[in-house]
Amino acid sequence: MFNETHLNLNIKHTLKGIVGAVSLLSLAAAPAFAADGKLSDDKVKIGVLSDMSGVYKSLEGPGAVIAAKMAIEDFGGKVLGKNIEIISADHQNKPDIGASTAREWIDSKQVDMITALDNSSVGLAVQGLASDKKTITMNTGAGTTALTEEQCSKYGIHYVYDTHALPVGTATAIVNNGGKKWFFITADYAFGHSLQDNTSKVVKDLGGEVVGNVNAPLGTNDFSSYLLQAQSSGADVIGLANAGQDTVNAIKQANQFQIVQSGQKLAGMLVFITDIQSMGLDIAQGLQFTTAFVWNQDDEAEKWSREFFKRHGAMPTMVQAGVYSSVSNYLAAVKAAGTDDSDAVRKQLGEMKLNDMFVKNGEILSNGLMLHDMYLVEAKKPGESKEEWDLLNVVSKIPAKDAYIPLAESACALAK
């Protein structure tokens, strides 16, 4: 009995010592953890998921990675005392590849936020998957309004433009200038159809009409048959509901058919500065389109753009500039929230006013739409250009309230 009691006392003293030591270690570690903020895996990791090799490569692609790195550098390389990392991949314009990449990033590589996503089908797939896993996406490249309308998500943010904002500027200007009858050549996937639908609504609301359309597969090289259908349709305007190399190919081939010279107008519903540079002002001059960013729109934008040019060899598109802005503001929200917890960061993003070289007085609405001004621009005549990338004149600013679907009219349940 004595030996058993003595043994029990020894065990109790030993356990008490172990618990005390563990408690002291916990107390010692706690202040350092709190001071640096609460990061899920001791760092913040951002994923740039873009078309790195296909028709949208020049629009976002490798340039998006450069923009994200610039944002991290300008932020100081750390947030809440911890490192900021970046990871990138090519979604190949395939929703299944985009979604599987996002799943691996979130489940195995601890990615906290995904940006770029320059394809509407990919963007919708990734936003849906990431939202199920409570991971924030800041889509800078896709256009479909479904991202903030019927497929909206608490964790999904649509940052740069959408297929409602684009025709508000471009189609309004063209219809008001006499372009009443429209024929569409449309990229045959979510983005193209959304762009055609939204543009058609603007045209009809202004008293115009749509006399026909034809769908063209993504990555089409030969637009001859589509252009001939458009030419014979009797339309005043041929609306190009596509983007990237598809738009460039269509406009170049329309020039060969002398469509504009014959009296019809071309309306590029999504055009980037890289497209204008690729076509040259001889072909592009006079082309009007809507954009969220012009590299020399002010001194702040020009300073950043020239630094981007040093690294990339081309001036930034609006979506590449948007990647920089989205990453910068995400990191600012993490810092302000004191954590990378998605709910806390999303709440912070919704309370912030966004001001940087890309956006002025921007705000992220409850449906995920980043509300900001847009610009109607026109490609310069060759003699007006002062340097290689001096390609655009700003015709007018389109106020944010006019460019986007009002929150009160949104189909998103989160807006109610």
For residue 404, the 8-state DSSP code is: S
Of 65, 64, 68, 119, the residue nearest 97 (C-alpha): 119
32-41, 158-167, 371-380: segment of lowest average pLDDT: 32-41
pLDDT at 27 over 60: no
Distance of alpha carbon 400 from alpha carbon 409, whole angstroms: 15
Distance of alpha carbon 312 from alpha carbon 389, whole angstroms: 13
pLDDT at 28 over 80: no
pLDDT tens digits, one per residue of 96-140 = 999 999 999 999 999 999 999 999 999 999 999 999 999 999 999
pLDDT of res. 163? 95
pTM: 0.88
The mean pLDDT of 140-159, rounded to a whole number, is 97
- What pairing do the DSSP bridges indicate for beta strands 288-291 and 374-379? antiparallel
Distance of alpha carbon 113 from alpha carbon 328, whole angstroms: 12
* Residue 235 belongs to a domain: yes
Shared-domain flag, residues 323 and 240? no
Distance of alpha carbon 279 from alpha carbon 248, whole angstroms: 7
Shared-domain flag, residues 157 and 50? yes
pLDDT of res. 345? 98
Distance of alpha carbon 330 from alpha carbon 345, whole angstroms: 8
Of 152, 225, 218, 223, the residue nearest 189 (C-alpha): 218
Shared-domain flag, residues 66 and 125? yes
* Residue 12 belongs to a domain: no
Shared-domain flag, residues 49 and 129? yes
Beta carbons of 279 and 286 less than 8 angstroms apart: no
pLDDT at 13 over 80: no
Distance of alpha carbon 305 from alpha carbon 326, whole angstroms: 16
Shared-domain flag, residues 263 and 169? yes
- Token pair in block for residue 227: 């252009």
- Token pair in block for residue 33: 């953890």
The mean pLDDT of 391-396, rounded to a whole number, is 96
Beta carbons of 223 and 179 less than 8 angstroms apart: no
* Residue 320 belongs to a domain: yes
pLDDT at 25 over 70: no
Shared-domain flag, residues 48 and 157? yes
Beta bridge partners of residue 210, listed in sequence order: 182
pLDDT at 7 over 60: no
pLDDT of res. 416? 80
Q: What residue ranges in 12-135 does DSSP mark as E strands?
A: 44-50, 78-79, 82-90, 113-116
Distance of alpha carbon 411 from alpha carbon 146, whole angstroms: 9
- Rounded to the nearest 10°, the torsion over CA 126, 131, 135, 138 is 60
Shared-domain flag, residues 75 and 153? yes
* Residue 136 belongs to a domain: yes
Shared-domain flag, residues 140 and 236? no
Number of H helices and number of E strands within the chain?
Answer: 14, 15
Number of compact structural domains in the chain: 2
Confidence of residue 37 (pLDDT cuts 50, 70, 90): low
Distance of alpha carbon 257 from alpha carbon 203, whole angstroms: 25
For residue 33, the 8-state DSSP code is: H
* Residue 87 belongs to a domain: yes
Confidence of residue 16 (pLDDT cuts 50, 70, 90): very low
Taking CA atoms, 380 is separated from 106, 243, 273, in Å, by 44, 20, 12
Shared-domain flag, residues 257 and 177? yes
pLDDT at 154 over 50: yes
Domain that holds residue 191: 165-269
Q: What residue ranges in 256-399 does DSSP mark as E strands?
A: 265-268, 288-291, 363-364, 370-371, 374-379, 392-398
pLDDT tens digits, one per residue of 274-324 = 999 999 999 999 899 999 999 999 999 999 999 999 999 999 999 999 999
Distance of alpha carbon 279 from alpha carbon 289, whole angstroms: 15
Domain containing residue 320: CATH number = 3.40.50.2300
Shared-domain flag, residues 155 and 299? yes
pLDDT of res. 259? 92
Of 87, 80, 93, the residue nearest 119 (C-alpha): 93
Shared-domain flag, residues 154 and 301? yes
pLDDT at 53 over 70: yes
List CB contacts of 63: < 8 A, sequence separation 6 or more. 308, 312, 314, 316, 317, 320
- What pairing do the DSSP bridges indicate for beta strands 44-50 and 82-90? parallel
Of 339, 347, 404, 416, the residue nearest 372 (C-alpha): 404
* Residue 3 belongs to a domain: no
Mean pLDDT for all residues in the chain: 91
Beta carbons of 155 and 344 less than 8 angstroms apart: no
Distance of alpha carbon 225 from alpha carbon 234, whole angstroms: 16
* Residue 280 belongs to a domain: no
Helix 318-337 to helix 61-75 angle, to the nearest 10 degrees? 30
Shared-domain flag, residues 74 and 116? yes
- Number of Cβ within 10 Å of residue 329's Cβ equals 26
Beta bridge partners of residue 139, listed in sequence order: 116, 158
For residue 353, the 8-state DSSP code is: P
CA–centroid distance for 28 within its chain: 43
pLDDT of res. 21? 40
* Residue 403 belongs to a domain: no
**Domain stop point among 337, 357, 373:** 373
pLDDT at 152 over 70: yes
pLDDT at 10 over 50: no
**Domain stop point among 251, 269, 287:** 269
